[in-house]
């Protein structure tokens, strides 16, 4: 039974809830569910630790980040096993992306914080400079699709900036957070700096509304982001939101077609399409449309299958497959449930799917599906391609396939998205701003932008 982690100790409190293995549908673990008393206890522990942690020189906190990175390395196999048990992710992806990014997140923010310059301005007769103070206690609420990567993406900058945290992982994927709690204790992290509680959205709501929480960083659906905004509005708490997406790929006639196909296969089907950055709308120049579609349809049937996180999410994805048909789509690949003839048939798998022929105004093309599926449509001009890509209420990410450098710069700068990849996808420099516009989020994290969110500047001016 997974316990909460509060004040450096395991806390077995609250009724139990089950977590299912998405590969087989079987219960893989039981977890304690945080009730109001557990939430209050976690916030109090974070507050008690906040003063000393904030007073620690940033160089010492950076040293703690490096020790946590070493702890992740030491528990690497346990973290991989826990993540796969909860998500059914491929072993190779978990070992090369999900867990290594936890190490990279802590090491990157140790360096970014240690080297972060502060402002200072000298005018005749006056000197102004800034100092930064942490926010205090930060609520960290994260989703189920990249559980460890996203939790550590938030924890590293929040901690190194001097905050203490209360983390509420997704109810679907508590395992890697529980191992992380153990390695925090093994590293000797001061009690109360990191607190981890488990539960559903209701526990998350109790946490964000707690008067002892100073700020909220959240990654998840746009609807939940909106609910959290309402929860914290009365106390005007700072919020950082990484939300949903309906990301476009633009494939121009002058692209390297092999790379464009392989890159789009990656951006559509990685993690079973359960990545906020995944492509769900593909726009291809008409001159190569038929060839591109034919190649993408073949490759869609070859990708490694990954289960959806839950039976409910699988039903949601399948409902969009049915919707596509009802809206008149032509199915180029997939569209149903794979049959394995083994234990996986009781899991949460869907077929990787490619459809075409739908209106830009169809629900299929407007709403985030968050599965291994995309719609492909032709375009005739660069201006039309940009308008199609920008036609969404979301604005998180886009990919652009062209060998024309002028076009790459020109089009990338016109796209209403926080992130644009050219001839690649999900290549990451952790020092760059990360986040979306419109319904895809509020604010940016990444590099010093994370430190800017997790601390408040004071400008001090001295008369000379």
Q: Which positions are catalytic?
A: 242, 276
- State the DSSP H helix or E strand holding residue 102, giving kind and residue range, or none if neither: helix 100-114
Angle at 458 between CA 452 and CA 463, to 5 degrees: 140
Site map for ligand NAD, 421-460, x if CB under 6 A? Answer: ---------------x----x-------------------
Is the distance from CB of 27 to CB of 92 less than 8 angstroms?
A: no
Between 288 and 389, whose beta carbon lies closer to ligand NAD?
389
Q: Which two tokens stand for residue 350?
A: 């869907």
Interface with ligand 2VS includes 146 (CB under 6 A)?
yes
Between 244 and 352, whose beta carbon lies closer to ligand NAD?
244
Total Cβ atoms within 10 A of residue 288: 18
Q: For 261-274, b where at least 16 C-beta lie within 10 A, e where not — what string?
A: bebbbbbbbbbbbb
Residue with tokens 């940033």: 58
Between 71 and 143, whose beta carbon lies closer to ligand NAD?
143
Closest CA to 295 of 360, 359, 384, 376: 376
For residue 32, what are the contacts with CB-CB under 8 A and spacing of at least 6? 1, 2, 3, 4, 11, 12, 13, 14, 15, 16, 38, 198
User: Site residues for ligand NAD, window 95-154 (CB under 6 A)?
Assistant: 141-145, 150
For residue 455, what are the contacts with CB-CB under 8 A and spacing of at least 6? 132, 133, 134, 135, 161, 162, 163
Interface with ligand 2VS includes 156 (CB under 6 A)?
no
For residue 371, what are the contacts with CB-CB under 8 A and spacing of at least 6? 272, 273, 274, 308, 313, 316, 317, 320, 350, 353
Candidates 54-62, 159-167, 182-190, 199-207 — which segment interacts with ligand NAD by CB under 6 A?
Answer: 199-207
Site map for ligand NAD, 392-421, x if CB under 6 A? Answer: ----x-------------------------
Interface with ligand 2VS includes 268 (CB under 6 A)?
no
Total Cβ atoms within 10 A of residue 337: 14
State the number of binding residues for ligand 2VS (CB under 6 A): 9
Interface with ligand NAD includes 167 (CB under 6 A)?
no
Rounded CA separation 205/457 (Å):
28
Q: Which two tokens stand for residue 174?
A: 């508590």
Q: Which two tokens stand for residue 377?
A: 């449509």
Between 142 and 194, whose beta carbon lies closer to ligand NAD?
142
Is the distance from CB of 325 to CB of 340 less than 8 angstroms?
A: no
Binds ligand NAD (CB under 6 A): choice among 33, 351, 368, 445: 368
Is the distance from CB of 407 to CB of 385 less than 8 angstroms?
A: no
Interface with ligand 2VS includes 153 (CB under 6 A)?
yes
Residue 100 C-beta: closest distance to ligand 2VS, Å? 12
User: Site residues for ligand 2VS, window 326-365 (CB under 6 A)?
Assistant: none
Among ligand NAD, ligand 2VS, none, what does residue 153 contact (CB within 5–8 Å per kind)? ligand 2VS
- State the DSSP H helix or E strand holding residue 294, giving kind and residue range, or none if neither: helix 286-300
Candidates 29-37, 106-114, 270-278, 315-323 — which segment interacts with ligand 2VS by CB under 6 A?
Answer: 270-278
- Alpha carbon separation from 284 to 245, 260, 393 (Å, rounded): 20, 10, 21
Residue with tokens 């409910």: 312
Binds ligand NAD (CB under 6 A): choice among 21, 242, 280, 445: 242
Between 150 and 194, whose beta carbon lies closer to ligand 2VS?
150
Between 31 and 284, whose beta carbon lies closer to ligand NAD?
31
- Alpha carbon separation from 258 to 261, 262, 403 (Å, rounded): 5, 6, 12
Between 100 and 352, whose beta carbon lies closer to ligand 2VS?
100
Among ligand 2VS, ligand NAD, none, what does residue 227 contact (CB within 5–8 Å per kind)? ligand NAD
Interface with ligand 2VS includes 407 (CB under 6 A)?
no
User: Site residues for ligand 2VS, window 417-446 (CB under 6 A)?
Assistant: 428, 434
Binds ligand NAD (CB under 6 A): choice among 14, 136, 244, 447: 244
Interface with ligand 2VS includes 145 (CB under 6 A)?
yes
Among ligand 2VS, ligand NAD, none, what does residue 228 contact (CB within 5–8 Å per kind)? ligand NAD
Binds ligand 2VS (CB under 6 A): choice among 165, 203, 250, 277: 277
Residue with tokens 């008409």: 286
User: Site residues for ligand NAD, window 262-321 (CB under 6 A)?
Assistant: 276
Is the distance from CB of 445 to CB of 240 less than 8 angstroms?
A: yes
Residues at the interface with ligand 2VS (CB under 6 A): 145-146, 150, 153, 275-277, 428, 434
Residues at the interface with ligand NAD (CB under 6 A): 141-145, 150, 168, 170-171, 200-201, 204-205, 208, 219-221, 224, 227-228, 242-245, 276, 368, 370, 396, 436, 441
């Amino acid at each position: 039974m997974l316990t909460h982690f509060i004040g450096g100790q395991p806390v077995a409190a609250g009724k139990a809830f089950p977590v299912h293995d998405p590969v087989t549908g079987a219960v893989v673990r039981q977890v304690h569910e945080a009730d109001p008393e557990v939430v209050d206890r976690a916030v109090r522990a974070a507050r008690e630790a906040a003063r000393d942690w904030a007073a620690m020189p940033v160089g010492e906190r950076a040293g703690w980040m490096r020790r946590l990175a070493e702890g992740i390395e030491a528990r690497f196999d346990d973290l991989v096993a826990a993540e796969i048990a909860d998500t059914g992710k491929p072993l190779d992806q978990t070992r090369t992306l999900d867990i290594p990014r936890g190490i990279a997140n802590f090491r990157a923010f140790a360096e970014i914080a240690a080297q972060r310059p502060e402002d200072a301005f000298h005018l005749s007769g006056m000197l102004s400079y800034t100092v930064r103070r942490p926010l205090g206690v930060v609520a960290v609420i994260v989703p189920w699709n990249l559980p460890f990567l996203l939790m550590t993406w938030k924890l590293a900058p929040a901690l190194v900036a001097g905050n203490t945290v209360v983390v509420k992982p997704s109810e679907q994927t508590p395992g890697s957070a529980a191992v992380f709690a153990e390695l925090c204790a093994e590293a000797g992290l001061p009690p109360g700096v990191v607190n981890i509680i488990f539960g559903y959205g209701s526990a998350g709501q109790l946490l964000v509304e707690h008067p002892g929480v100073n700020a909220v960083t959240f990654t998840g659906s746009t609807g939940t982001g909106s609910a959290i905004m309402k929860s914290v509005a009365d106390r005007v708490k700072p919020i950082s939101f990484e939300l949903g997406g309906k990301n476009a790929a633009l494939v121009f006639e002058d692209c390297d077609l092999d790379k464009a196909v392989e890159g789009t296969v990656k951006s559509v089907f990685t993690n079973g399409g359960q990545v906020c950055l995944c492509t769900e709308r593909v726009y291809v120049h008409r001159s190569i449309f038929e060839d591109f579609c034919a190649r993408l349809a073949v490759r869609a049937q070859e990708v490694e299958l990954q289960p959806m996180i839950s039976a409910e999410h699988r039903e949601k994805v399948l409902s969009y497959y049915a919707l596509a048909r009802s809206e008149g789509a032509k199915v180029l690949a997939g569209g149903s449930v794979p049959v394995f003839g083994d234990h996986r048939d009781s899991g949460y798998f869907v077929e990787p799917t490619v459809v075409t022929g739908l209106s830009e105004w169809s629900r299929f093309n407007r709403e985030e599906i968050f599965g291994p599926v995309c719609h492909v449509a032709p375009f005739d001009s660069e201006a039309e391609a940009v308008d199609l890509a920008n036609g969404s209420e979301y604005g998180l990410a886009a990919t652009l396939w062209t060998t024309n450098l002028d076009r790459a710069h020109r089009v990338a700068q016109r796209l209403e998205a926080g992130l644009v990849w050219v001839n690649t996808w999900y290549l990451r420099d952790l020092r760059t701003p990360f986040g979306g516009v419109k319904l895809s989020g509020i604010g940016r994290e990444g590099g010093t932008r994370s430190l800017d969110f997790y601390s408040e500047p004071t400008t001090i001016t001295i008369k000379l």
